[in-house]
Structure 1
């Protein structure tokens, strides 16, 4: 654009600003006007200010902060031992029906030997405690679980949106 004169550059800027002004005018003063893009109407006809349809929705005006603290009762396990997870959840907002899932200790056959979930209600600035437990199978070729290091991933989801995750690492010995 270095070859154009200053007057040409100013004219191009004025044209661009005018086009933007037209779209703003249409959006502000004629909100039901359907703008065609590439010969097709915009399919979005939703209301810009939707009514409160669900009182359980996240208040978007407040920052949402969900935290997970979790510990296992041990760090090294043997076959047939019980893994106990102690989980604490806290939230900056009241949330109902938060799905807490703990999955892991995945075998070479792609089976999760730890697979627990629970729906909980979180209260603002309060700690919700839950416990998950699962007995381990034997470490052998039938289960597909061999001695080694494994992970259990804990997630907290609200309306299918993952809010927080936490990993617990543990070791299984023969």
Structure 2
């Protein structure tokens, strides 16, 4: 069994015992439980291999944390607390990958829109929907960029040629139903006569 280390030591992955220095990302969970990006990837691959594959219409929803925990229970003996933490961390990890790193995909698109003087905003529901869609596609973080490109392609084409758009707001419906993002106009200044 992996250990989390002494209080003064660097945190380690509860599953593989690698330190923060040995992995690209170490996600902290409750009660001192940690999981590295490599173990999240391995668990995602295990889940994908175990599934029969999507139905012809495609998967209908992302797995709930309880379903992830049940699945992991077939492969991981004991460690109930760590399995539950991992189950919740899978979705949280995708959300963090989308928004937290300096070079996160969402931040890259915000900088791209800023070059045209337009603010790009994602609602929390949109971020969660992107993470859900990435899980549904069974490619995890690799699907994030493709989803963002699908959601933003038309508006990336249209906005640079317009000077009346101040902000683009991407909501849940934009991600799930392919509804156009909300374009917030710039405030017009009245000319004095």
TM-score range, shorter chain: under 0.3
Max radius of gyration: which structure? 1
Structure with more helix by fraction: 2
Report which structure shows greater RCO (CA 8 Å, sep ≥6). Answer: 1
